[in-house]
Amino acid sequence: MSNSNATNAAIGENTLGLLADVRASRGLVGGARRLVRPENPHRASLGTAFIGIGASLVCGIRAIYGFSWFVAYWPTYPNPVPALIAWILLIVVLATAFVTSSIVGDRLPDWMFSLFLGLLATVIVLDVVAVWDLHDFGRHATASLTAAMALLLVITLRRGAEILISIGAIGVSLLIIILVNTDLTPQNLPAQITSLAFAVLPVVIGVMIVRGFRSMVQVELDRVLVQSTVSAPRFAVGMLASEELARLDLAAEELLDSVATGRIALPLRPKTASVAASLATELRLHLIEGRRETWLYHAITESELLGRSVTLTDKGSLAGLLDANQRDGLLAAIWLLVNDHAKKTTVRTVQVDVGPIVPVTPVVPGHKLRVPVVITTTGVPRNRVDPSTWNAIRRVGRYSDSSQNASLRVEIECFVDNPADL
């Protein structure tokens, strides 16, 4: 086994082909592993491509509006050639960016993003040169304001922080140009402020919308993923463990097939024997885990949201005795307690204690067992609990609640079928 561990450590993988640091990245929540999903900051996933199309339409309308003012101001330009070149370049950039974003799909390479910003900066400089002698930048600038808003085309293809830094730099530059070039008066000040706001605010609002949409969809996907555990057997392996078992099975089949066909000679070489021993050990570990981990354990540890805030104590693995309706109610209650967005600054934690079994006197029909479930929260005052939370708790069993120091404690009396009668 030591030889196998050394070999796996050397190549950075275990016998499943998984990177060692991926498995090590699973943190501990209440003594339990949790699944940490990889993140790609460039991906325009979760349907944000539709937001990108909408942003492109808004940018196109702004370009038509700005170009109309450019045509109207044509006689007033001391030298309209730089402004005309700026608009030609901007139209080319907008069209190319729209086509490129449609082809690229979900990621804009760094060099392409840098080129995009460079071309926008060129457009702004040309427009500034064209209107500089008019000394009223906010009133006469057209291409430069549209160029700032053109960042909407890539809000779904780059990190929000990168877009905010870029629009911030453009906004500061335009502000400096206004202060240096324009003699501010009560008559022209509104035009300067309005132009600066039209250049900066749409991009900032767009970034906030994309972030909010991604967060909402990710939470809903996480809820759907965790909801699948409600119908799981009393003891089961989680989603990640199922994938690992499939890989273990494939590795074992390949090894046995190689021995059967003679590709690997007997007796096995030390390195091959170590790999076989590792496969057997990991299979045994998964079988042991599958006999003590319940659906609620997997629902909490494999959820991005619940894994950070919920701690489970279930020494007797009694959560597995709950029926489907009780499971759904308990999971919904926990989810609602954690996912209330009324106060984002408040740290919300939930402690779930299941068991031990309490003798029922007198004996209830069907010889049911009484399993106490205690939910203790921090940062969740009772008057902030959503009414649907109480409806979910009623599906688990009779309950009583108390509050102290802005925290909530719910004691649930849950009756379950006796596994000895099944």
From first to last of the 422 residues of the chain, give the pLDDT tens digit. 333 343 333 333 333 333 333 333 333 333 344 444 444 444 445 566 677 788 888 888 999 999 999 999 899 999 899 999 999 999 999 999 888 877 776 678 888 889 999 999 999 999 999 999 888 888 899 999 999 999 988 888 888 899 999 999 999 999 999 999 888 888 889 989 999 999 999 999 999 988 888 888 888 878 887 777 777 776 665 555 556 666 767 777 777 778 778 787 777 778 877 877 887 777 666 655 555 678 888 888 878 888 888 988 888 888 888 888 999 999 989 988 887 654 555 677 899 999 888 776 665 556 788 889 999 988 887 877 888 889 999 999 999 988 877 788 899 988 888 776 65
Asked if 353 and 315 count as a contact pair (C-beta separation under 8 A), the reply is: no
pLDDT of residue 346: 62
pLDDT of residue 236: 64
Strand, coil or helix: 154: helix
Distance CA 102, CA 58 (A): 16
Residues of 221-250 as b/e, b for ≥16 C-beta within 10 angstroms? ebbebbeebbebeeebbbebbeebbebbee
The beta-strand segments (E) located in 252-384 are 310-313, 349-354, 369-378
pLDDT of residue 146: 92
What is the amino acid identity at position 294? T
pTM to 2 decimals? 0.65
For residue 256, the tally of other CB atoms under 10 A from its CB is 12
The CA R_g of the chain, rounded to the nearest whole Å, is: 31
pLDDT of residue 231: 76
CA 85 to chain centre: 42
CA 106 to chain centre: 15
Asked if 316 and 357 count as a contact pair (C-beta separation under 8 A), the reply is: yes
For residue 75, the tally of other CB atoms under 10 A from its CB is 7
pLDDT of residue 25: 36
β-strand pairing of 407-416 with 32-33: unpaired
Give, rounded to a whole angstrom, the gap between the first and last alpha carbons of the chain.
41
Distance CA 267, CA 299 (A): 44
Contacts of 168 by beta carbon, 8 Å cutoff, 6+ apart = 200
- 199 secondary structure, DSSP code: H
Asked if 373 and 354 count as a contact pair (C-beta separation under 8 A), the reply is: yes
Distance CA 264, CA 282 (A): 22
β-strand pairing of 310-313 with 349-354: parallel
Cα angle 275, 13, 271 (rounded to 5 degrees) comes to 25
pLDDT of residue 117: 93
Cα angle 195, 158, 224 (rounded to 5 degrees) comes to 115
Asked if 121 and 145 count as a contact pair (C-beta separation under 8 A), the reply is: no
pLDDT of residue 4: 38
